[in-house]
Each structure stands twice: as structure tokens, then as C-alpha cells.
């Protein structure tokens, strides 16, 4: 059975059970606006799936969670900044947590090594060369999870698209134990 088939079969059963649960508990749909007015920028690492939310006590409907490889931000108007703009101006986010993590795969990834693997699997050098500079800036920007989290905090705080009264915090997460370490705590007086 393919992964897609297994997921779709599970989903059919989930939807039936969830609808019965909602009716029995007189639940309404959850809003797309995060009830904690919080956005989290974090990594796409599989060890964080569900575990980060449990470790932080964040439940469904409470926060916008923006994930990418290494929670890296490159450029003034990249996808993560765009997602934060929508979160702030359309969905009432007032606070942002940048949560990096120990043992991130991006810390051992290099543009040279990634380029080689991409070419070996059929990506043309021409395509990679078309993003020359941006490719290296993105991949080689990350070598230390703590420094990266603090760098991302700095990028967000200095973005011309993020209001200055938005709180931005930097944290480091242990994907094996669930422990959080505060790297930077924003204390803007409003």
C-alpha cells in the first residue's frame, strides 16, 4: 500500500470520528486567527512534528507555525517574511517566536555538497547557476543553530515590513528531550 493510500484511508476514518466528536462535544470550527496572537518560525525537521507543540503547550488554533529548512530567512521579502506580514496584518499576530533546534541537518549542509547531490539527481547546472549567490547565501548561511536563531530574530526585528511593537523572541529546542532555552527575550515597553 502506498503512503498516499494509507494516509487517505486514515483520513476517511479520522473525518468520520472527528465529526462525531465535534457533535458530541458541541464544538464549533476553530478560527484561522491564532487565539494566542502568536507566530512561530521554526524548522521543518521531522522530530519537531507534534513534539514542539506538546513541549510548548501550543494547541490547535493558538499559533501560526511557519516552517522551512533550518528556519532560515534570506532576503528582505522572502516567503517567511511574507507569511509573517499576513500573520500580523491579517491575522492579528502580536508576538513571534523563532525556535531553532539542536542537531539541525542544515548545520552540516553546504552549498557545494548540495549542488553536487542535485546535479547527480538530474538538476541542471544551468538551473542552479541561475540562482547563483542566492543559493550559496541560503545554504551557507547556517552552521550554528543558536547563531542562526539569533540572526533570524535580528532579520525580523529589522525588517521594514514588521512593526516595531511586535515582540520577537529567540529560542533553541532540543528535539530529543523537548527542552527550550531562551536565547533572546524581547521586552518592548508598549
pLDDT tens sequence across 31-56:
999 999 999 999 999 999 999 999 99
**Domain encompassing residue 75:** 31-104+142-184
Q: Taking a C-beta distance cutoff of 8 angstroms, is the pair 111, 135 a contact?
A: yes
96 shares its domain with 175? yes
Q: Taking a C-beta distance cutoff of 8 angstroms, is the pair 51, 178 a contact?
A: yes
162 shares its domain with 172? yes
Q: Total domain count for the chain?
A: 2
- Per-residue pLDDT of 73-99, as tens digits, reads 988 899 999 999 999 999 999 999 999
10 shares its domain with 97? no
For β-strands 95-101 and 63-68, DSSP reports them as: unpaired
Alpha carbons 95 and 39: distance in angstroms, whole number: 6
85 shares its domain with 174? yes
For β-strands 95-101 and 38-43, DSSP reports them as: parallel
22 shares its domain with 36? no
Q: Please check whether residue 18 lies inside any domain of the structure.
A: yes
pLDDT score, position 188: 58
Q: Please check whether residue 121 lies inside any domain of the structure.
A: no
Residue 190 has pLDDT above 50, yes or no: no
Amino acid at each position: 500500500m502506498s503512503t498516499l493510500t494509507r494516509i487517505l484511508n486514515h483520513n476517511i476514518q479520522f473525518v468520520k470520528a472527528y465529526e462525531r466528536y465535534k457533535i458530541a462535544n458541541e464544538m464549533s470550527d476553530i478560527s484561522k486567527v491564532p487565539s494566542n496572537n502568536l507566530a512561530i518560525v521554526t524548522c521543518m525537521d521531522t522530530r519537531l512534528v507534534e513534539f514542539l507543540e506538546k513541549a510548548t503547550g501550543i494547541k490547535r488554533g493558538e499559533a501560526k507555525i511557519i516552517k522551512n529548512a533550518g528556519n532560515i530567512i534570506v532576503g528582505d521579502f522572502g516567503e517567511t517574511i511574507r507569511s509573517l506580514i499576513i500573520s500580523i496584518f491579517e491575522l492579528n499576530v502580536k508576538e513571534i517566536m523563532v525556535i531553532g533546534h539542536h542537531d539541525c541537518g542544515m548545520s552540516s549542509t553546504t552549498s557545494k555538497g548540495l549542488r553536487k547531490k542535485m546535479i547527480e539527481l538530474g538538476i541542471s547546472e544551468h538551473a542552479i547557476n541561475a540562482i547563483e549567490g542566492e543559493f550559496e547565501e541560503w545554504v551557507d548561511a547556517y552552521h550554528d543553530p543558536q547563531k542562526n536563531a539569533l540572526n533570524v530574530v535580528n532579520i525580523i526585528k529589522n525588517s521594514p515590513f514588521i512593526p516595531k511593537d511586535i515582540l520577537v523572541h529567540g529560542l533553541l529546542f532540543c528535539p530529543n528531550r523537548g527542552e527550550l532555552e531562551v536565547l533572546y527575550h524581547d521586552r518592548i515597553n508598549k
